Structure 1
Amino acid sequence: MRLDLRSKSFGTRPVLGALVLDVAAGERVALLGPSGIGKTTLARIVAGLDRDFEGVLEVPERLAMVFQEPTLLPWRTALLNVTLPTGADRETARRLMAEVGLAGREEAYPRQLSLGQQRRLGLARAFAAQPQILLMDEPFASLDATTAARMLDLTARLLDDSGAGLILVTHDPAEAARLGARPLMLSGSPAQLG
């Protein structure tokens, strides 16, 4: 995946300056920097959710995103939250749910799951899409330290098993290190990769 960005602005306010983000197959990178610097904006551009920028984006066919919030369909069961958006069959969805520790919760609705369980369901959904690149935007925020550590280990194992590349948005260099992600620092105004 490659982004050759010339600029990104919100109205007249420049947010991101010229930068190149290049992630090879299986490579893991972490976008670091202070809050409000443009990390999420950069991830949204790569995900194709923000097309209002100057530059060229080349992404692989299969890309999945895990947001800060689980973004689950509240009116669908956990199993359907995996199969509907990804097209995965039920067997694959059940296997991934078991891998993230949600075996037996297939018929539960998101409101019946804890925040940690919802985040694990979001992770299962992302891997059900068989992504070549996984984008994660502060996925461990607001989790207690023990749950966050388990989620980091689970994510690392799923990445190892799938061979997917990773773009992680985080403010925590320790998260990047735990996932074996090469740190890339966003700084300046407009922000650039340093």
Structure 2
Amino acid sequence: MRLDLEAKAFAGHEVLGPLSIRLARGERRAVLGPSGIGKSTLLRILSGLDTDFRGRIGGDERRAVVFQEPVLLPWRDALANVTIPTGCADGVARDWLAQVGLVGHEAKFPRQLSLGQQRRLALARAFAAAPDILLMDEPFASLDAGTAARMLVLTDELLSRSGAGLFLVTHDPAEARTLRAEALYLGGQPARFQPAPPAPDQA
């Protein structure tokens, strides 16, 4: 996956400046920066959801996206929430549901699942699509600390098992470290990749 971005603007206001990204299967990157800097906008460009930018994007890798919210089909059970979007067989969906810890929940609807379980379902759906690159947009936001920690470990395990690459948008450097992702920092107006900010004074 490669992106050579010249600029991205909203209503004439340039939010992203020139930047380049290269990411192959098995590689992991995390983009950090303050709220509103353009991290999610960059992910939408990489996912193909936003095509209104100046620049070039390429690569034939299969990509799947995990959003800030689970974005599930409320009128379908957990199994169908995996098979319908991905087109995978029931057996494949059941295997991924098992890998994320949702055995016995296949017939439940999203409203019958906790938020943590909904996030696990979204993760199973993404991996069932057999992506080469997994794009994740603040996927652990709004989870309590314990649930977020377990989700981070699970995500790391599934990435290693599947061999997929990772492009993570997060505000938390600890998430990038846990997922063993190279940290990239967005800053400035318009935003560009910048050197890592200095560590907090430990004195």
- Classify the TM-score, shorter chain: over 0.9
**1:50: which partner in 2?**
50
Per-residue CA shift, 1:50-79, capped at 9, x if unaligned?
A: 000000001334100000000000011100
Aligned residues: 194
Cross-structure match for 1:86: 86
Matches of 1:135 and 1:166, distance apart in 2: 6
SS of 2:166's partner is strand
1:163 aligns with 2:163: yes
Asked if the contact 1:16/1:192 (under 8 Å) is kept, the reply is yes
Task: State which structure, 1 or 2, has the greater radius of gyration over its C-alpha atoms.
Answer: 2
The yes-or-no answer on 1:130 pairing with 2:101 is no
Structure 2 match to 1:98: 98
CA contact (8 A) 1:29 1:181 kept: yes
Aligned partner of 1:182 in structure 2 is 182
SS of 1:119's partner is helix
Moved over 4 A (4+): none
Tell me which residue corresponds to 2:191: 191
- Specify every segment of 5 or more residues in structure 2 that has no aligned partner in the other structure, as ranges: 195-203
CA distance in 1, matches of 2:61, 2:31: 22
**1:7·1:17 contact (CA, 8 Å) conserved in 2?**
yes
Check the 8 A contact 1:60/1:132 in 2, yes or no. Answer: no
In structure 1, how many angstroms separate the alpha carbons of the residues matched to 2:68 and 2:115? Answer: 11
Q: Which residue of 2 aligns with 1:17?
A: 17
* Aligned residues of 1:3 and 1:21 also touching (Cα < 8 A): yes
AA paired with 2:146? T
RMSD: 0.6
